[in-house]
Structures are given as structure tokens and as C-alpha cells.
Structure 1
Amino acid sequence: MHRKKRRDYILKLIIAEKSSVGQAIAFVLGATERGDGYLEGGGYLVSWCAGHLVELAQAEAYDEKYGKWRYEDLPILPEHWKYTVSREKAKQLKVLRELMKRPEVDSIVNACDAGREGELIFRLVYEYCGCKKPMQRLWTSSMEESAIAEGFRSLRPGTDYDRLYRAALCRSQADWLVGINATRLFSVLYRQTLNVGRVMTPTLALLVQREQEIAAFVREPFYTPEMDCGTFTASGEKHKDRKAAESIRSACNGKTAVVKSVERQKKTVAPPRLYDLTTLQREANRLFGFTAQQTLDYMQSLYEKKLATYPRTDSRYLTEDMAAGLPALVETAAAVLLFSTGAKLSVDARRVVDNSKVTDHHAILPTGQVKEADLAALPAGERSLLFLLAVRLICAVGEPHLYAETVVMLDCEGHSFTAKGKTVLQNGWKAIESAYRATLNNKPEKDGEDKALPELSEGQAFANVRTAVKEGFTSPPKAYSEDTLLKAMETAGSEDMPEDAERKGLGTPATRAGIIEKLVKTGLAERKNRQLLPAKKGVSLIAVLPEVVKSPALTAEWEHRLKQVERGGLSGPEFMAGIAELTVSLVKSYSAPNPGFMSLFPAPVGSRSEPVGICPRCGGKVREGKKGFFCEKQDCGFALWRDNRFFASKKKELTRTVAAALLGEGRAPMSGLYSEKTGKTYSAVVVMENTGKYVNFKLEFEKGAKK
């Protein structure tokens, strides 16, 4: 495309988080001409980041020695943070850098997802490319064309979000510090990779604690006398002693029971609130078995397809300016549902509107565009969630559910019995919910509901009642499901937090799904029949870790402090100083493994458990581990690391056979060694040199042999 070279030809560069979002924005702005990695037109350039383009560098980027995991190198505390770009994303970063440098670009618009991580993704690219041009922020909760257009009419200065960026940067750097140092510390101490994370580990601790509670639970029986009055049943008090319950049964059987009191109360069940991400993930897990990550992925896709609003929200309310559009949106939502109750829809906006309870984004809603969408063409998971959003919206603005509760007290031979009943006076929002749930293949279990009682009055007598004893058992705590773990993460540590704390719990709605997935991926937890259980390795890890690392209360406190950084109540350096202090203290406190815990981490099963050779430093046995070959004596420190630069440069692997030769003879003949100089391969003898502190390698060649 021919571009004008005049300085008065001004362009705005829009940077979205993903290409699909960038294309949606470009369509609204009229930027339809395609370039390599961007779109242009209407006075705009539109490009995208493809997720996290710029990320924190690994430890070895700060010093080559960090390529090996050693206690003496800890803690690793970078003075100046380094960043890196993966090879597969380097091309898109180059596109963005070149677009930023174009002289006709006078400003940059951050159109990444409107949240903490979206802010971080954009700012790291902006800083990495050395851009100094003015930036603005697009902040929208919907990808609908009208929402995008409105967002561009009300762009805000990028500096308005500086505190959000600082909080995101602190979160990223804190996770790096704790993750890198704690993982290396405990992996070195116990000679196998033990993943430790600032939020992941306290979440694992919740799973382990629940498993311990279940294991320690002792089932106890209890006995309840029951009395059949013909048209209803009444129950006595529970007894631990069967004889006591049998005595009441015997005394009352065939006798007369008299009604002592009848209490009737009208009760109201208010409509449920709209969904934030966590409550949606919990509900989707209960109804469909979706994992938290699946729900987030489906919702992100619906958002990008303009069928749902921004999913990563912790609010369950709407803003006042949205109230006028609710009747039309409710009608649209009702039109897409596959069932009908025949009830007239009620829209009470007051139930869902509260400016004070909307943070960065309002509650999740279906958009007006669902009316024109081909819902049958959507993936089943996305369609299920869209129907769930529609049902919740209709219920949330609907009429309350009204019922009358009756509690009847009876006396028989001096023993008290109670009967409860319930009569629905107005179905209200529950009519919609019941009709929807009837359409589900796997219908959720219903809570025990009281049936209606007959008309009863004080003094009324029932002759010749029949009695029995019902046996029951106390129930153990239930293993966590994704639903209940999300709830526990959301409230963890909240009892120790100030009432006005802005952020409670472990992680955020946007990060909890990823934390759960990482626990499963690293083998610390496992999914079984919709349950989340700690794996054996996870239980062992929690056993060896100190409270400061695994405490949900402490991690919840850090989340609260991050929110303070975002709100301006705490500076970024203050937050990071606390994390650094924790890291230094951790390394100083744990310089040697606890001997009592070594049995929790046995050597790998099979041939690896057999010694590879004798340690050239102390004479101890060298055994194979996941990352190399190590002396079994903790205070020795001798190691042959698999990721050794010497072998990597020659494109060879340090195998068990090679390690055994080096330990036995000090040398190992090898063929197929790669020459970086010539690009050819050759044969030589690898010689190991043990300095007492380090292990080095060199090559020896036979006479006449060429490298």
C-alpha cells in the first residue's frame, strides 16, 4: 500500500491482546486493508500482542551459574528485571516495534483486555520496544460494535491505569521470586523437582487439609424416633444411644399425639445475583462438570464472538446507565431459550443495579447479538454457558419466590416431635430456573424439600400413632470439587482480614483456573470423578513446607496488598520489599532437609534407584534423579546435571551410561559429538575434572583424530 510521507498524515496505533479482538476493532474503525500482522484504514493501524509477548526471563539470564540448581546460589533477587520474547512470538513483536516507530503514528491505544493482566501485556511490550509516544486506554466490557465505538469515543489517558500496571507488575515479579527460589530451594534439599508457588501452594494446602480431615473422620451412628400421624410424619430429637430412641418409640407406639403449637411464617427467597466469573465457574462445574479453565476458555470465546460480556470480573452487579436497556436484553435472552414457562417476564432493574458494587467490570451478561447468532453452530460448551447466562439474567430481575413455612410441635407421652411443611405462594424466579433445569440431561440433585402439611390446629389429637426408629450416620467432610475449591479459594483467609479489605482469598477470578490446572499438570493434584484430590507428591510437599509458604491466610494478605497497590494505598517497592524479605528469610531458615521427611521422597522406582557410581569427593553413592546424578550425602553437593552446557553444545545427552563411565573411570568415549565451528560430528573422549567445588569437562583426542 502506498503511504503518504507528509507529517500531517496522522495515525493512531491500536494494540489488542489477540488477533480476533484486533480484527473486531478494525472492522468497527474501518481499518480493512491487510498488512503483515496488522490492519490499516480510517486513520488507524490495528495490531495485536498474541497473548504474553514479553515475559520475565529465566534465572540463567541473570548469570550462567543459575543454569544449575544449587543452594549456595539462593536467594536469586534481581536488581534489575530482565525480559525475554519467545522465538515463536518474535515476529509479531517486530511488527509492533516497527508500527510504533512509524513517524505518522502519533499515539498508541492500549486495547488489550480491560483488566490487570491485559494492562501488563500491553505495558511490557510498550516498554520493551522503548516507545515514548502518548498512550490512551480503551476500556470496554463488551466486544459488540456499539460498545467498541462508545469506548473509542471515551478513550482515557493511559496514565490513569499506571497503578493497575504497577499491581500487575508486582504480581508477576512476586510470583517469579517465590516460585523460582522456593522451587529450587526445596527441590535441591529433597533431590527432586518440587513446584512451589505463591498462590498454588496454599491452594494445594487446602486440598491436603481436607484429605486429612476425611482420613481422620470417624463415622458415628445416630438414632431418630419418628411418628406416623397418618397424613404426615413428625420427628423427635436425635440420640447417639439407640436404647434411648427405642425407649421413646416403645412409649409412644399406639398412643395419642396432641398438637401443642402451630407456627406459620411467610418467607421470601430473593432472586439470585448475576454471575461473576467465580460463581459462573462453580455453577458450570455443578451442572455440566466443566473445569474452571474450560468455563473461562468458553467464556473468552463467547466474548470474542460478541455474544457475552467480559468474563474476568469479580462483580455481580450492573451500573445505573445499563438499567434502561435491561427490558430489551431480557426479552432477547428469553427468545433464545429452548423452553417456555408461559409466565410473563418481570424486569426489576433495582435488584441488579448498584454502582458501588461494580469494580473494573460489571457482571457477566449475554449481549443483544445473541438474537441474530446461529446458536446451533456454537460448540456445545459455549452454547450451554450462553443459556446459563440467559437464565440467570431473567431470574435475577424476576419476582421473588414466596412460600409459607409451617412448624408443628406435637407431644406424645411427654416426648416432643416436630413436623415441618412448606407451601409455595408465588413461584416467581424459581419457575424459570425449574423449567431450565428440567431440560438438562444430567439433572442436578435437589435439596430435600418440605412437603405441604395438612391444616392443623392447636389441641388437635391423633390417636393410635405408629412409631419407628430411623438410623443415620454422621457424614465426613466431602472431598473438594472444582466448585467447592473455587469457593474455598475465594474465602480463604478472609476471617483474618480486615472487614474493609478490597481483595480476599487466594488468587483472583482471572487466575484461579490456571492455578488449579497447574496443580494437576505438575502432578501435585489429580482429578477423579469430578473430585480434586491431592496426589501423594502433593501431600509430601505440604508436609515439608513451612507455614509461611503454604498459609492461605498469608497469601490472602498478599492479594489484599496487591489490591492496595492498584488503589494507591501501597507503593510497588513496598510490596516487593515484603516479598523479597520473605524469600531471604525462607532460604536462611532452610539450609538442610529435615531427616524425618526424606522418606517422603524416595529415589525413583526401578533401575534409577540403584547407585550409578561412587562420588569422587566424599565416597558416597551417586544416584540418578530427574535433573541429573547426585551424591546421596546432603552436605556433599556433588552433581552431574543433565542440562550441562558442555554436553548441550555438542548436542549430546548426559545418559546414565555416560555418567557411570565418568564416575568409574573419569572418562567416557563418545561418538557423534557436534562441532559448532564446522557443523560436523566427531569422536573423542570426554574427561571429567572435579575441582572440589565444580565439575568441569574437557575433550581428549586420539593421535591423528580430527575435531
Structure 2
Amino acid sequence: MELDIIILIIAEKPDMGRKIGEALGGFRKDKGYLRSDKYIITWAFGHLVGLANPEAYDPRYKTWNLTDLPIVPHSFKMIASESSKKQLGLIKELAKECTSIVNCTDAAREGEAIFRYIYEYLNLRQPFKRLWISSLTKEAIREGFSKLKDGKDYDNLYKAARCRGEADWLIGMNGTRAFSTKFGGHNNVISIGRVQTPVLAMIYDRHQQITNFKSETFFTVKATLQQESISYTGTLQTNERMIDRNLAQKISESIKGRVGRITHYDAKNNEDKPPLLYDLGLLQSEANKKLNFTAKKTLEIAQQLYEQFEAISYPRTTSNYVAEDNLSIMHDIFDQFKTTKYAMFATGDKAYVNSTNKNICRPEKIEDHHAIFPTDKIPNDLTADQEKIYLLIVKRFLAHFHPPAKYKTHKIITTVDAHIFQTNIRENISPGWKTIYNEEKELLEKDKSIEDTDLRTNFAFNPEELAFCMDSEVKKNLTTPPSHYTEGTLIDGMKRAGRSIQNENLKDEMSDIQLGTPATRTDIIENLKSKEYIIVDAKKLKPTAKGSSLIEAVRKMDLHVLASPEMTALWEQRLGLISKGQASSTAFSELVVKFTQKIVQKVKEDSALENTTKEEFINTLGKCPECKEESIVADKSYYRCRNSCQIRINKIQLGKELTLKNLLDLLSVGKTAAINFKSSKGKGNYKAKLILEGSENGRLKIEFVKTKK
């Protein structure tokens, strides 16, 4: 009698498992899994298994000591958290019933790691296939199951994932322990990360550029010129910025009423193509700029639209293009939008979305997943924030069904008494795809040197005719510093990190290399916040004292590469080659070990930081009322002055933890606003203000607030 062949499907999350069940059909629910006559579907909850901490190799590593470093395991151990063991046990038992497995985790490097770690940890032996799809619609899942890949085809992808994880472990564990034992302490961990530290350095360097920037005043001369009925403005051209106001004023006065001549005129027809389809980074950048959404919030919403609503394709993509086999699907989706509330945007023509349009169809630019675009599942019950992200994606998608925006640029050089004035005018011909964005003026912003005109016909200058200077004025200008990074512009910067590499031998080769991946950039930013390396001030990302001290220390120890994109960019490139079978994972691991050893050795031996104190790595929270310096810091259970002042303010007051605002109020005005406290007997609440009674020691007194009955 033949045994029934049962196939185990392992999804990354329960929701993914349920969607696969709905697509394949015929399943009945059980606790932690679904079963049909042919399949059993179960799932992970993200990473069930990870690399073990150092104490798993030797109990003495539980205590952090610089002398124990570097810690370099001969082979890495895997460990499951207590919360994961029940589900892992279920997967192991279900696997005993099955002859083969289908890996249905996310079709990306981290998804591959999630499945392979489980597979190795449980010592599974069944052969496995790979589901690789970019959409969670029933049709896409069914098609994916009809074209399952051999699991071995993704062995190199797993090698790259494993190398990435082990590299992060080696640098993170050793670097963090080395810096923390030397500069931190029990309550002040100095975290080091392969990608995290270079990203912090980007924020630090930009902040330093702004802090050290010295604004300079310069002057420009603007002439109001006229030829026949056309009036236009020209800007005086000089070899250098004009810093002499008197000279500028003299030129301005001298040309008023004078006759000039157009000495150069050039008109060119141009077009703006629709903006590229979104990858995750571009979506996060635009949502941060337009909607003030954090990168984390945008990713969370995109995942909801993908997993919960099946309304968009796979969001964690690095590509802005699609393949030829996506085009017919996109045409069908375009037709669907014509009968929805988005119909006002679906007014274009399918003919524009074709295989010869390199603004949208470039298969060679796709690695794992095509660009983000809507699916045929058009949702109706989105929250306000979900709708905002969905609308960004829909408009970007539908823009490609419209022609390019056409315009003409006019460059005019007018000479007045040997002074040269330049004018650039943009004559809008047809809006094309921009009709979708008419209400979004920021998308249509143009170069500030372009003077717009609504004239559309017979608009041309005649070099044979004279031009008259009707008026002129001197404009005072100030040079401006670069802008602080926002989360949006930081993600852009991480995507373009290779362009900032200083090594001339690597610059061209590495120009496309990025810091982090779509799956990790959000976490990197959130980690920098949670570790108190950066703060967000009105969208601007700024380094804290702790973050600044870390970058300065790294550079003083001649570990510049740890705080530059160069090393990480090189490693990301190598990981990409490993995933394609074009580089050795062993050689990569040896490189990482050598660099880890260098970090530890520098921290142990470097004398450049002998005068650096641990206090420099503690963020200050406010001004001390005694010494009047910005020197209040947090210890485990109280706030104190890091100078010699005796002030101590307990973090817990009357059973409630002080907020940062409470602390700042105490330090600045000597009292808090009314705070809600619970009665010590557990019956009812009461309001009270805390008053700093003794600034020399931090003693507080209570002022009860009467509540209106």
C-alpha cells in the first residue's frame, strides 16, 4: 500500500500561510497549521532562529571584558528564543508526516535566511522547493506553485544571507563590547554596527558641515529687459560672486535705460518623462517629504497593503522597473482603475506602457522583484494613512500611461554696455502625465533659475532686434549651508552611498553600491534613535553627544573605514556576488574576521583617546541648576550632574516615572505641570505638581492640585 504524499509548506508569517491556503483551496484549520489532502501549511513568526550570543560559546562571555576580545567562533551556533520553541516543535512534528517541503518565506535574502535557519536548526532532511513571487493575489500564488523552483537554486543566496548575519555578529558583538567596556558602562552601551556606524557618520558629517558653515554675503544685479512686447529678466554674469555692493550698485545704475542687444539665443524642445516607479526607498523618501511619515511608518503601511489587502506588489524591492511579462498585467490593472474612485487619474493610454519604453521596462535592472505597482485587488476600506500611501503608488503607476510633459527652453544672452545678462525661460507646451499631479505643486517645482511663462505660441526672441533695459536692481544674497538629513533624504543618501567614496580607484566601480537594503534601512534608522545616537528635530536628523563622540573616537583611532560607506559598500558588493555564485563566502568571512581583530586591537592599544572620558559618551538632557552647564545625565535610577554638583533626581516619583518634559520643567522653571498619580492604596487618582526644593541635592516636594468637582 502506497503512503500518501504530503508536502509541508512553511510560510514566513501566519497571514502569508492563510493566503496560500485560500489560493490553493481545500484546507481545514488546526492549531498552528492548515491541512488538506496534499499539503500542510504552517509558518514562522519572522526569525524563529538566530545566531547565539557569545555566552553560548563560553559562560565567561556573559560578563563583558575587553581582555576576552575578539570573540570569533570556529562555527556559529544557532539558538531559538523561548517564545519560538513551541512553533519550532510544531514544525518539526509536522515535517515527520511530509516527504518534501516548499519554502514560502519572503522572496529575498532575509526570507531565505529565515527558512534555512529553521531547516538547519531542526535538522530537517526533506528536499525542498522555493516559491518565488512578487504578489500575494490568489492568481500569483497559484502561478508560483505551478512554477516552483528547486531549493538548491538559492543556495548562494543563503550563503550571502549567512555571511551577512555572521559579519554583523562579529563586528557588532566585538565592536560593541570593545567600545562599551572602554568608553561606556553597564547603563551606557556603545553600539557598533557594520552599516549602522557609517550611517551615523553621514548624519554627523552633515551636521558638522552645517555647524561650521560661515554664511557669506554676495550681490547679484537683475535687469528688467524688453524686446518688442516680450518682457524678461536677466541676471548679470560674473566670474566670481560679487561681494562689493557698491560695484553692484554702480553697474545697476549705469545700465538703466540703456539699449542692449541679444547676442545669443537658443530654443530647444524638451520633455519630462514620468517619474520612475517606486522602489521601497523612493516610496519612503517621498512619503517623508510629502506626508511627514517616518520610514518605519511607510514600510509598515506598505506591508499592510501587500499582505493584508493584496493591493500592491512586493514592497521591499530595489528596482524601479518591470519586465515584459508584467506589461499585460499592468494594462489590465489600468483598465480596472477606470471604474473606480481613481478613474480621474486613469485617463491615459495603454500604448505608452510597452517593451520599448525604457523609462518603465528594463528587465536587466531587476534583481529579485520588479518595481512596486498596484495589483488588481483595489481596496475600499483603507485607513486615512493607508489611503495616502496607496494613492502615491496609484498615481505613480497611472502616470506612465500618459505621454511625457513637453516644454521648450529659451536661453537668452543679452549684452548691455559690455555687461552680460543671462535668462532661462521654460515655455510649457503640454502637461502630459503632470495632469495627474496638478494639485501637487511641489512635484512640479522647477530649477529656480528658470523663469516660467504662460506664453505658448509665437514665443521667440529676435537676435536682430535691440533689447532695452527698462530697470535694474541689486539683490542681496547669502550663501546657505547644506540641509540636515531627514529620514527621506537619508534613505536617498544610503542608496547613493557609493558615490561618496573618496578612493579614486573604486569611485566609478562602486558608484551604484548602497548602504543597507530595503529590508534593513528602516531598522537602521530606528536603531540609531533607540540607541540615542540621533534625535529627530522638526524632521531634521541630528547627532547626539553620544553619537558625535562615537564617530570622533572611531576616527581618532584610525578606524575611518568603520565610519565610512567604503567598507560597507565593498561588502555589500561582495555579498551580491556571493548570492550569484561569483565570489567566495569563505574569503569574505576571513576578511570580516581580520577587520574585527583590527577593531579590537585599536581599542585596546590606541593612545589617541587616553584623555577621552566615559562622560563624553553620555547624552546630556538639560542644564544643571547649580553649575548652569548642560550637564544633566541619566543613570540607571536617577538623573545627576556629570560635574561635581550633588544634585540627584530619582526617575521614579510617587510610583510614576518622570517624563523628559517633567525633568526639563524641573530644571528650567523649578516645577512640573500637574501630573496624574495613582493613590498608594490603589483607590482613585490625584493630581500634583513636583517642585524642586533643593537644587543642591535634587530634593522634591509635592504640591497637590485641587480638581474641580
TM-score, with length taken from structure 1: 0.80
Mapped partners of 1:309, 1:604: distance in 2: 42
Mapped partners of 2:565, 2:56: distance in 1: 32
For 1:340, what is the secondary structure of its paired residue? helix
> Contact between 1:32 and 1:39, CA under 8 Å: does it hold in 2?
yes
Q: Does 1:505 align with 2:479?
A: no
Q: Counterparts in 2 of 1:277-292, with a 5 A limit? A: 277-292=280-295
Tell me the equivalent position of 2:524.
Answer: 515
> Contact between 1:59 and 1:76, CA under 8 Å: does it hold in 2?
yes
Question: Once the two structures are superposed, what CA deviation does each residue of 1:392-443 show, in whole Å capped at 9, x if it has no partner?
Answer: 11223431111111112212222111222111122111222335x26xxx99
For 2:451, what is the secondary structure of its paired residue? coil
Q: Does 1:492 align with 2:497?
A: yes
* Aligned residue-pair number: 599
Tell me the equivalent position of 1:235.
Answer: 235
How much does 1:455 deviate? 4.0
How much does 1:604 deviate? 8.7
How much does 1:625 deviate? 7.0
Q: Indicate how the Cα distance of structure 1 residues 599 and 89 shifts in structure 2: closer, same or farther if over 3 A, else same.
A: closer
Q: Residue 161 of structure 2 is aligned with which of 168, 176, 181?
A: 168
How much does 1:186 deviate? 0.7
How much does 1:335 deviate? 4.7
Mapped partners of 1:310, 1:77: distance in 2: 37
For 1:95, what is the secondary structure of its paired residue? helix
Q: Does 1:12 align with 2:7?
A: yes
How much does 1:456 deviate? 2.6
Q: Residue 263 of structure 1 is aligned with which of 262, 266, 269?
A: 266
Q: Residue 255 of structure 2 is aligned with which of 252, 256, 259?
A: 252
Mapped partners of 2:9, 2:618: distance in 1: 54
Letter in 2 for 1:255: R
Mapped partners of 1:116, 1:602: distance in 2: 35
Question: Once the two structures are superposed, what CA deviation does each residue of 1:545-583 show, in whole Å capped at 9, x if it has no partner?
Answer: 121321211111111111111111222221111111111
How much does 1:42 deviate? 3.9
Identity %: 34
> Contact between 2:44 and 2:87, CA under 8 Å: does it hold in 1?
yes
Mapped partners of 2:512, 2:155: distance in 1: 19
How much does 1:310 deviate? 0.6
Q: Residue 467 of structure 1 is aligned with which of 472, 484, 504?
A: 472
Q: Indicate how the Cα distance of structure 1 residues 219 and 542 shifts in structure 2: closer, same or farther if over 3 A, else same.
A: same
Mapped partners of 2:124, 2:109: distance in 1: 20
> Contact between 1:178 and 1:583, CA under 8 Å: does it hold in 2?
yes
Q: Does 1:204 align with 2:200?
A: yes
Mapped partners of 2:195, 2:361: distance in 1: 32
> Contact between 2:248 and 2:474, CA under 8 Å: does it hold in 1?
yes
Q: Indicate how the Cα distance of structure 1 residues 342 and 232 shifts in structure 2: closer, same or farther if over 3 A, else same.
A: farther
Q: Indicate how the Cα distance of structure 1 residues 603 and 487 shifts in structure 2: closer, same or farther if over 3 A, else same.
A: closer
For 1:249, what is the secondary structure of its paired residue? helix
Residue range with higher mean Cα deviation, 488-497 or 386-395: 488-497
Letter in 2 for 1:414: A
Rg comparison, structure with higher value: 1
TM-score, with length taken from structure 2: 0.80
Question: Once the two structures are superposed, what CA deviation does each residue of 1:465-512 show, in whole Å capped at 9, x if it has no partner?
Answer: 211101111110110011211111112134454756696121112211
For 1:451, what is the secondary structure of its paired residue? strand
Tell me the equivalent position of 1:24.
Answer: 19
Q: Residue 340 of structure 1 is aligned with which of 319, 339, 344?
A: 344
Mapped partners of 1:532, 1:502: distance in 2: 25
Residue range with higher mean Cα deviation, 331-340 or 514-523: 331-340
> Contact between 1:178 and 1:198, CA under 8 Å: does it hold in 2?
yes
Q: Indicate how the Cα distance of structure 1 residues 128 and 239 shifts in structure 2: closer, same or farther if over 3 A, else same.
A: same
For 1:136, what is the secondary structure of its paired residue? strand
Q: Counterparts in 2 of 1:577-592, with a 5 A limit? A: 577-592=590-605
Q: Does 1:51 align with 2:46?
A: yes
> Contact between 2:496 and 2:511, CA under 8 Å: does it hold in 1?
no
Letter in 1 for 2:551: I
> Contact between 2:498 and 2:507, CA under 8 Å: does it hold in 1?
no
Mapped partners of 1:467, 1:57: distance in 2: 72
Question: RMSD of the alignment, in Å?
Answer: 2.6
Tell me the equivalent position of 1:552.
Answer: 565
Tell me the equivalent position of 1:479.
Answer: 484
Letter in 2 for 1:245: A
Letter in 2 for 1:153: S
Q: Indicate how the Cα distance of structure 1 residues 444 and 176 shifts in structure 2: closer, same or farther if over 3 A, else same.
A: farther
Q: Counterparts in 2 of 1:97-116, with a 5 A limit? A: 97-102=92-97, 105-116=98-109
Q: Indicate how the Cα distance of structure 1 residues 626 and 506 shifts in structure 2: closer, same or farther if over 3 A, else same.
A: farther
Letter in 2 for 1:428: G
Q: Counterparts in 2 of 1:518-537, with a 5 A limit? A: 518-537=527-546
Mapped partners of 1:255, 1:220: distance in 2: 31
Q: Residue 177 of structure 1 is aligned with which of 146, 165, 170?
A: 170
Mapped partners of 2:589, 2:573: distance in 1: 14
How much does 1:337 deviate? 5.2
> Contact between 2:224 and 2:469, CA under 8 Å: does it hold in 1?
no
Letter in 2 for 1:13: L
How much does 1:294 deviate? 1.4
- Structure 1 residues without counterparts, runs of 5 or longer: 1-5, 610-623, 633-707
Mapped partners of 2:292, 2:614: distance in 1: 37
Mapped partners of 2:451, 2:618: distance in 1: 57
> Contact between 1:261 and 1:457, CA under 8 Å: does it hold in 2?
no
Letter in 2 for 1:70: N
Mapped partners of 1:160, 1:182: distance in 2: 35
Q: Counterparts in 2 of 1:11-410, with a 5 A limit? A: 11-102=6-97, 105-192=98-185, 193-229=189-225, 231-237=231-237, 238-304=241-307, 305-333=309-337, 335-336=339-340, 338=342, 340=344, 343-346=347-350, 347-349=352-354, 350-351=356-357, 352-370=360-378, 373-374=379-380, 377-410=381-414
Mapped partners of 2:317, 2:602: distance in 1: 39
Q: Indicate how the Cα distance of structure 1 residues 501 and 261 shifts in structure 2: closer, same or farther if over 3 A, else same.
A: closer
> Contact between 1:183 and 1:195, CA under 8 Å: does it hold in 2?
yes
> Contact between 1:31 and 1:46, CA under 8 Å: does it hold in 2?
no
